[in-house]
Structure 1
Amino acid sequence: MDDAERIQRSHVLFGYDGTAENDAALRWAVDETARRGLDLVMCHCWHWPYASGHVDRDAETIMKRAGENLLERGVRRARELGAPGAVHARLLRGPVAEALLGASGTAELIVIGAHEDLDAGATALEVPARADRPVVVVRDGNGPGRTGRPPELVVAGVDGTARCGAALGFAFDEAALRDWDLHVVYGCWEPGAVIDSELALFNDRELLEKTRAAELEEAVAPWRERHPKIGVTVSLLLERPCEALREAVEEAGLLVLGDRGTGLDPLGATSSGMLRRAPCPVAIVPGRRPPG
């Protein structure tokens, strides 16, 4: 069932668990393959529930066969949804996050589903925090195929630093692929996240706004030149990033963010918070380029 050796083309990697809640994420993954001209690689991860030294060949065989059957159903479902390229199935041994990250080396994009509550350690938080390529997290009901027509708008949350260039590039590309408009949002009230020499800006709101507006324009200008046909709106708000994004994402079909976390929260408070709250799919784009 595992045809990893036959995967040659660039592809979208999708984490498949066979649940009804996972179908919205599968729809998004299929849609990405169609728009990007990529293959789809569907991964299902099974986890040995016993102690590491426990041996039960019959139980292992049964678990693997169950995973293979589930993947067969998933491949059929992907084709029902119109996957235009090859659909490959990979059965991996978990834990899920470790297995998906290990399989992502040649993926252009990772798509995973998410349940309503994202607790610490959830796959939908752990994978984007550790991946070196973009990860799109889709909740049940907010993928392409949800009730009603999805908003034709990409929202990109930026911070004016060099690291946001990757997220901006991804946001512009998605808007171009989908023929959607783009709204770039910079919530710049972050006194706890700046270097000491910039703290004085928060005592002068006019200077803060002028400084951050220049940073925002410098970040957006190169991408606007590359994609002149995209309708772009830029908003600079003297609010904390999550507050600035909260209203914008109500009209979004996709939210794109970077990863800027350190220490206990490797994603950063904004990305972690929006993964939990956003009513639309969320793409987390690492500031570092993937190997190769």
Structure 2
Amino acid sequence: MVALSRVQRPNILFGYDGTEENEPALRWAVEESGLRGLDLVICHCWHWPYPPGHVDAGVEAIAQRAGENLLNEGARRARALGAGGNVSTVLRREPVTETLVLESDDAELIVVGSHERYNLLEASTAVQLPARTHRPVIAVRGAAAQRGLIVAGVDGSAGGDRALGFAIEEAALRDAGLRVVYGAWEPGAVPDHELPLFADADKLSEVRTAMLEEAVRPWRRRYPQVRVQVSLLLERPREALLEAAADADLLVVGDRGAGTLDPLLLGATSSAMLHHAPCAVAVVPRPRPAA
């Protein structure tokens, strides 16, 4: 196990619903806890079938008992998959997203399942949670062959640097290669004084390549064992990242939030990756003040 160069929080938090589609996410959460040497906390939110305000103690007891049984099965599955640390369970009543945010204070990261791409609803936990938590969220869809590649999207921002740091840690833990991708064609997202760059492709490439190398250099020094490839593409970030993600196990993006005025919504690029990337997607949020 690779020792990271910083102190971690004590656990991996996993949102569990007991479905077959949730199994790849469970495997990922178990693997994360093992690679990082952290405990695994499995959280399930039981569903109240009646309108708010309706009281039925018998139904509530049945729902809670079913949730307890499901969590016990999840813990058993986690241990069968090789969870080496402590496995604990948390049972709460819905809503799921708010519960995971509240339970994440001690979490190094949160793992959740995701519907297949193109079928992900805006109200789903995989979309809502990264916009509301201050922990990295990994949304896992489907079971895919391991390719040994992690892709990180950077853009020269502080959020991009946080994403890059998370990605290179994952690459070090998994003995994987890291491809750092900068889709530099963003004329609508730059200050006015940089707009002339987009009239000169060679100059744009020169300036952005220097920015990319500067961003990667300190992380290369910190993790010299990771094989790092940098790719500057004069394409929109969404197209550049989706193309790179085709061969990846994990795509890591920051939440710059440039695509919306609502602080509870993701930026356009990170939201697009959750909806359309073919692999697991990690969204590394900007620091947010505590509620």
Same fold (TM > 0.5): yes
TM-score of the aligned structures, taking structure 2 as reference length: 0.92
CA separation in 2, counterparts of 1:68 and 1:227?
Answer: 42
> Secondary structure in 2 aligned to 1:163?
helix
Q: CA deviation at 1:14?
A: 0.1
Counterparts of 1:97 and 1:156 in 2: how far apart (Å)? 25
- Cα deviation, residue 101, structure 1: 0.9
- Tell me the secondary structure at the aligned position of residue 251 of structure 1: coil
Aligned pairs (5 A) from 1:70-81: 70-81=70-81
- Whether the aligned pair in 2 keeps the contact of 1:271 and 1:284 (CA below 8 Å) is yes
Equivalences, count: 277
Instruction: Letter of the 2:42 partner, please give it.
Output: M
8 Å contact from structure 1 (residues 133, 290) kept in 2? no
**Structure 1 residue 130: Cα displacement:** 1.4
CA shift, 1:48, in A, is 2.0
Within 5 Å, which residues of 2 pair with 1:1-292? 10-116=10-116, 117-142=119-144, 149-261=145-257, 262-264=260-262, 266-288=265-287
Q: CA deviation at 1:199?
A: 1.5
Could you give the per-residue CA deviations for residues 36-75 of structure 1, whole angstroms, max 9, x where no partner exists?
0000000001132323221110011010001001001101
SS at match of 2:50: coil
Equivalent position amino acid for 1:263 in 2: L
Structure 1 residue 290: deviation in Å? Answer: 8.5
CA positional deviation for 1:216: 0.8
How far is the alpha carbon of 1:289 from its aligned partner? Answer: 7.4
Q: Whole-Å Cα distance in 1 between the matches of residues 162 and 242 of structure 2? A: 22
In 2, distance between residues paired with 1:95 and 1:162? 31
Question: Alpha-carbon deviation of 1:250?
Answer: 1.3
Q: Equivalents in 2 of 1:96, 1:196: separation in Å?
A: 42
Distance in 2 between the 1:238 and 1:108 partners? Answer: 34
1:62-105 CA distance string (max 9 Å, x none): 10001001001101000110000110010011111111111111
The Cα shift of 1:224 comes to 0.6
CA distance 1:290–1:281, change in 2 (3 Å): farther
Please report the RMSD computed on the Cα atoms of aligned residues, expressed in angstroms. 1.5
Letter in 1 for 2:63: M
Runs of 4+ in 1 over 6 A off after TM superposition: none
Q: Distance in 1 between matches of 2:244 and 2:276?
A: 12
Equivalent position amino acid for 2:277 in 1: A
Instruction: Percent identity, please.
Output: 61
Looking at structure 1, the residues matched to 131 and 36 of structure 2 have their Cα atoms a distance apart, in angstroms, of 24
CA contact (8 A) 1:257 1:284 kept: yes
SS across alignment from 2:239: helix
1:5 is matched with none
Paired with 2:27 and 2:102, the residues of 1 have a C-alpha distance of 23
Which amino acid in 1 is paired with 2:57? R
In structure 2, relative to structure 1, the CA distance for the partners of 1:284 and 1:115 (3 Å cut) is: same
Q: Shift of residue 251 of structure 1? A: 1.2
The TM-score normalised by the length of structure 1 is 0.91
Shift of 1:263: 2.1
